[in-house]
Structure 1
Amino acid sequence: MADEPKAMTAEEIEALEPTYIGPTWQRNPDGSWHLPERTLGWQIAGWCAEWLLSKEGGPWRFTNEQLRFLLWWYAVDEHGVFIYRKGVLQRMKGWGKDPLLAVLCLVELVGPSRFSHWDAAGNPVGVPHPQAWVQVTAVNQSQTTNTMALIPSLMSDAFRKAYGIKEGAILIRANGGKCRLEAVTSSYRALEGKRTSFTLLNESHHWILGNHGHQMYETIDGNATKLDSRYLAITNAYLPGEDSVGERMREAYDKMVERQERARATGEELQAVDIGYLYDSIEAHPKTPLTEEALTIVLPKIRGDAVWLNVKTIIQSIHDTTMSIARSRRMWLNQVVADEDAIYGPGDWEPLGDEELMLRPGDEIVVGFDGGKSDDSTALVGLRLSDLSAFVLGLWEKPDGPAGDGWEVNRLQVDSAVHEVFRTFKVKAMYADVALWESFILEWEAAYGEGLGVKASERSSIGWDMRQSLQRVTRAHERLMTAIFDGRIKHDGDRSLKRHVLNVFRRENNYGVSFGKQSRESKRKVDLYAALMLCHEAMHDLRTRGKKQKVKTGRGYFL
């Protein structure tokens, strides 16, 4: 069974490298593993080998992959402060997330999990937390059981005696009751105000609004911030659009990377808020076909060091037609792929990207604009006519958290950006949704409308009212959708544009397929996509009924 229209050769499949997120699989230029300079991880690995047991009954041993993750999770800076405050470990089903985190829970309970001092060689030395309070959290009891049930078999008799372990199904005490490890399920009120030292979030891709997952996560994060503690989530690939905590944590990570990349590109100083988040994942290439030949090559890469996973059995599960292809990709290839209602998945958009693409002054472009006021984003997108490469020219979004309270877009800043676009590039057409921005669009039309190669409507050179004609919007959207699926659109890999594209959901009507957010209340924005649709429609109209004319700059003319 395959879901690709064209068969790939073994060489082509071999070249489909997985996406590695996080430091676990990073290498130095000489090919050696990139490891943290300072970490408690080495001491912790030795402690685990001394006190904990493997499944076979011998001393616990981490796989090389697990060990590298351990080293990074317990990495410290020159002051002995943990580099990472929170983290996510995302792997395919069966990789061994629960056993690894069960071990870490015992480390956090009584192991050398906190920095004490530097030894004579300059290495960090760890000591146990004096009053450790470790919580294993989930939205149902079976999820906490996955972790808690593993813990008794990990503890050696010497461990139990040395640390005074008192065992229970949902509560384990140590050191005379000073330290505790407990399971907490579906009750954010039970988490509120607890002085936890470490929290495990189990299967965060199942934490949604309906089972209080959002409230549990907000409580855990608040506790960790207040008490300067840490938390770590384990997850499989989430279902896009479900708005799970797993999805929110990935979006927060992607936004952090967006800010870092933009700061490097513009020379701005990185903000402290961008530091302290470890996200670690291995995901199959978006173009991976589901043929037996392809999976035989790809699955050993995705499983990493989890050699206990049987590739042949996984292939049989994937080919079982009782399970959707999208779900199989999420479970076994660790791919973030949408179900039927989402129009695009990463596999549709990412292959169109080329980070080498650059928009240069003087390039001929068409421009799309979708404006908001406070909640919706305001987006400005350009499409280069020579190669149909899309570029984000401006994005103004409501900030997350308290910074977003009472926020409104700076209209003068947006207006200035539009004028800068016309000064910098040869703008052949501009389509702008008129909602909330009528007065500014009239000014842009007065300044530049006469020089544009096509009119947005009979009444306006720039104003394109998306509210007036469902048929017109649907036709425009279907043209863009076809261009994307046919691979005619390119982009420079902008993460903001990717985020908005993947947020788009199908909206069928009497005229065909239009688009929208997942719901009216959804905070997942699609405004950059709407702006892309407008500039793509401007390009289409320019080519089918446009005119050649001198371009007015606002101060004069040039050809």
Structure 2
Amino acid sequence: MSVFVVPPLDEQPWPSLGPQLCDFLEERAIHGPGDLRGRPASIDVEKRALLYRAYEVYPRGHPRAGRRRFKRAAISLRKGTAKTELAAWVAYAELHPEAPVRAAGFHLVDGVWQPVGAPVTDPYIPMLAYTEEQTEELAYGALLVMCTEGPDADLFDSGKEHITRIDGEGKAEAVAGSPSAADGARTTFQHFDETHRMLLPRLKDARQTMRNNLPKRVLADAWELETTTTYGEGQGSCAEDTHQYAEMIAAGKARDPSLFFFHREASWRDDEDLEDREQLKAAIREASGPAIAAWPDFEGQVESIASLYQQPDTDKMYFQRVWLNRRRSAERNAFDPARWETLARREVRIEHGEPITIGFDGARWRDAVGFIATHIETGFQWPLRYWVRPDDAEGWEVTDDDVDGVLTEAMDLYAVRLVYADPPRFESAVARWSGRWGERRVLEWYTNRPRQIGQAMRAYRTAQTSGELTHNGDTTYAEHIGNSVRGDLKIRDDDETPLWTIYKVRPDSTKYIDLAMAGCLSWRARLDALAKGGWKRKKRKQIIVRR
């Protein structure tokens, strides 16, 4: 989808200080560094909507009436959409001695109870970026311009290291990326800028330390804002952590009503070809959104961005991340999820007694474990059984009895010609199967052998592309196919073709790939069964009884 919002819009809007805040900013704030520097702030419709959501409060009559609905807000937009300036406006209002940023009661407006806005008493606003210098250049730098060149410059004592209210009661500052520098602060609002660049442990630790300061100022109703371009998937950045957490909330795997998350990207299309200039420009427009499209000479900007993509030395993956706000470039997908969906044959059922092959892969105590079957004659695949570790599970384990039972049943129901099983963590089980059904029928198939797994993966993807492989449409199997990230191996095939295998997007990701690996092994087993021959179902002799 183009836009991902957590939580989604409510049918009945919440009370919000957003309208008062936007009016205040357009009257008392200015634009920061750039083409509009020094001009009165002008807030486009999308940023206005984001501020409305970020400043929602609990309604009159609620036990928490007037308190902020969200303690965390995170905004992910493409490069060049003035999201850092938006953060600076928020910091400006949070620091200003007259801004309506906290509810101080309610009053009736046209028959509706609306919050009454008031400033924060003695605010403290730390602003963190991936380097302290970047904080000064980005959000803090924009705030400095607003406080020194705006109409209320006389209300602030501004410097390169910190900005204070002229009465001394309130301060904003750029902070260093070390946990000790942020520890113990009496924070009322804090900002994290370009969190896709926050990869180092010291930065992640600093953010966590700063986050732990928020509950200290109860009356101030402290909160935080994160602004970023989307992250490179698998790098483990702060932005990635936030986005994955929002996805867990949206999926019902986590409950946290204190987070507001907004992400806009150019959505994927099955037949997309970004080498086509018109399709490329359409993707740029979609990633920009309608508010940015209303900017002066927006089409000129689109043309300029599109020209970057078509230069021969452009990193296409980087381009898609920063200008289309896509987390993963299609080049990193091991398989095409859209193509996989077209291969579903939900009405197909394989009769008992039919010749099949089986692939087995998984981790006993984490991720997932599964058996994938392939009908040798048709190439139709389906999961025999799988186990997926719940996100909050402790002591989770797939036992030998679990996997033994599934394979025993499969052997009874079908003519199983080959089983390829990746044995780590299930060595005893695989050895037991081989001893019971024969070592030529059940084989240890280690997936850490570069040449073998690289050739198997290439054949598996080719079967998907050609349509030789079909499947039953199982949604978990499809998720594992979509989660699979291509990782190049340091080896080439005999024809100099680069070989690759699949990985999770990062080791601690809950986007599992075990069924995709099992499917690959099952497909490799099918190809080997076809090559060996003798796999076809033997016809039963018909006995005629004469009377």
Q: TM-score range by the shorter chain?
A: 0.7 to 0.9
**Greater shift in the superposed pair: 287-296 or 50-59:** 50-59
Q: Which residue of 1 aligns with 2:462?
A: 482
Q: Which residue of 1 aligns with 2:142?
A: 150
Question: Superposed, which structure 2 residues align to 1:134-145 within 5 Å?
Answer: 134-144=125-135, 145=137
Distance 1:189 1:498, change over 3 A: farther
Q: Which residue of 2 aligns with 1:299?
A: 284
The Cα shift of 1:325 comes to 1.6
Mapped to 1, the partners of 2:292 and 2:322 lie a distance apart of 15
Mapped to 1, the partners of 2:162 and 2:87 lie a distance apart of 16
**Per the alignment, in what secondary structure is the counterpart of residue 537 of structure 2?**
coil
Mapped to 1, the partners of 2:254 and 2:519 lie a distance apart of 29
CA contact (8 A) 1:73 1:278 kept: no
Letter in 2 for 1:242: Q
Letter in 2 for 1:214: K
Q: Which residue of 1 aligns with 2:545?
A: none
The Cα shift of 1:272 comes to 2.8
Q: Which residue of 2 aligns with 1:240?
A: 233
Q: Which residue of 2 aligns with 1:217?
A: 207
The Cα shift of 1:175 comes to 6.4
**Which among 205, 208, 228 is matched to residue 196 of structure 2?**
205
The Cα shift of 1:99 comes to 0.9
Letter in 2 for 1:114: R
The Cα shift of 1:127 comes to 2.9
> Do residues 529 (structure 1) and 510 (structure 2) align?
no
**Which among 186, 192, 196 is matched to residue 195 of structure 1?**
186
> Do residues 114 (structure 1) and 102 (structure 2) align?
yes
Letter in 2 for 1:216: A
Q: Which residue of 2 aligns with 1:71?
A: 52
Distance 1:380 1:165, change over 3 A: same
Supply the RMSD in Å over aligned alpha carbons. 4.3
Distance 1:105 1:471, change over 3 A: same
Mapped to 2, the partners of 1:473 and 1:393 lie a distance apart of 23
**Per the alignment, in what secondary structure is the counterpart of residue 283 of structure 1?**
coil
Question: Superposed, which structure 2 residues align to 1:383-422 within 5 Å?
Answer: 394-397=386-389, 399=391, 407-411=395-399, 415=403, 418=406
Q: Which residue of 2 aligns with 1:183?
A: 174
Q: Which residue of 2 aligns with 1:165?
A: 156
Q: Which residue of 1 aligns with 2:542?
A: none
**Which among 489, 508, 518 is matched to residue 507 of structure 1?**
489
**After superposition, what is the alpha-carbon deviation per residue over 1:509-537, rounded to whole angstroms, capped at 9, x for unaligned?**
36562425489x94346434323322333
CA contact (8 A) 2:454 2:500 kept: yes
Mapped to 1, the partners of 2:157 and 2:178 lie a distance apart of 24
Distance 1:271 1:522, change over 3 A: closer
Q: Which residue of 1 aligns with 2:76?
A: 90
CA contact (8 A) 2:421 2:446 kept: no
> Unaligned regions of 5+ residues in structure 2, if any?
540-547
The Cα shift of 1:103 comes to 0.7
**Which among 257, 266, 270 is matched to residue 283 of structure 1?**
266
**Which among 446, 467, 473 is matched to residue 466 of structure 1?**
446
CA contact (8 A) 2:374 2:523 kept: no
The Cα shift of 1:63 comes to 0.7
Q: Percent identity at matched positions?
A: 19
> Do residues 548 (structure 1) and 537 (structure 2) align?
yes
Letter in 2 for 1:351: A
CA contact (8 A) 1:238 1:247 kept: yes
Q: Which residue of 2 aligns with 1:14?
A: none
Counting matched residue pairs gives 494
**After superposition, what is the alpha-carbon deviation per residue over 1:14-73, rounded to whole angstroms, capped at 9, x for unaligned?**
xxxx6221269x899xxxxx7843322222222222322343755423111111222222
Mapped to 2, the partners of 1:74 and 1:412 lie a distance apart of 53
The Cα shift of 1:199 comes to 2.1
**After superposition, what is the alpha-carbon deviation per residue over 1:350-396, rounded to whole angstroms, capped at 9, x for unaligned?**
4235499696896679764323244x523326467678577795444
Mapped to 2, the partners of 1:389 and 1:179 lie a distance apart of 64
**Per the alignment, in what secondary structure is the counterpart of residue 232 of structure 1?**
strand
**Which among 329, 336, 347 is matched to residue 327 of structure 2?**
336
Q: Which residue of 2 aligns with 1:19?
A: 2
> Do residues 46 (structure 1) and 23 (structure 2) align?
yes
**Per the alignment, in what secondary structure is the counterpart of residue 66 of structure 1?**
helix
Letter in 2 for 1:248: D
**Per the alignment, in what secondary structure is the counterpart of residue 92 of structure 1?**
coil
Mapped to 1, the partners of 2:457 and 2:199 lie a distance apart of 31
Letter in 2 for 1:91: L
Letter in 2 for 1:478: R
**Per the alignment, in what secondary structure is the counterpart of residue 69 of structure 1?**
helix
**Greater shift in the superposed pair: 510-519 or 117-126:** 510-519
**Per the alignment, in what secondary structure is the counterpart of residue 321 of structure 1?**
coil
Distance 1:178 1:275, change over 3 A: closer
Q: TM-score, normalised by structure 2?
A: 0.75
Q: Which residue of 2 aligns with 1:31?
A: none
Q: TM-score, normalised by structure 1?
A: 0.73
CA contact (8 A) 1:36 1:72 kept: no
**Which among 70, 85, 88 is matched to residue 99 of structure 1?**
85
The Cα shift of 1:486 comes to 5.1
Mapped to 1, the partners of 2:414 and 2:279 lie a distance apart of 46
Distance 1:38 1:442, change over 3 A: farther
Letter in 1 for 2:323: W
Q: Which is higher, the Rg of structure 1 or of structure 2?
A: 2
**Per the alignment, in what secondary structure is the counterpart of residue 60 of structure 1?**
coil
**After superposition, what is the alpha-carbon deviation per residue over 1:228-274, rounded to whole angstroms, capped at 9, x for unaligned?**
743222222322233322233333333444x42xxxxxxxxx65347
CA contact (8 A) 1:359 1:391 kept: no
**Which among 114, 122, 135 is matched to residue 131 of structure 1?**
122
The Cα shift of 1:190 comes to 0.9
CA contact (8 A) 1:367 1:380 kept: no
Distance 1:23 1:434, change over 3 A: closer
Mapped to 2, the partners of 1:112 and 1:420 lie a distance apart of 69
Mapped to 2, the partners of 1:229 and 1:522 lie a distance apart of 34
**Greater shift in the superposed pair: 384-393 or 171-180:** 384-393
Mapped to 1, the partners of 2:408 and 2:212 lie a distance apart of 42
Distance 1:274 1:372, change over 3 A: farther
**Which among 378, 381, 386 is matched to residue 368 of structure 2?**
378
Mapped to 2, the partners of 1:88 and 1:426 lie a distance apart of 52
**Per the alignment, in what secondary structure is the counterpart of residue 196 of structure 1?**
coil
**Per the alignment, in what secondary structure is the counterpart of residue 48 of structure 2?**
helix
Distance 1:388 1:362, change over 3 A: closer
Distance 1:330 1:95, change over 3 A: same
Q: Which residue of 1 aligns with 2:421?
A: 432
Letter in 1 for 2:92: L
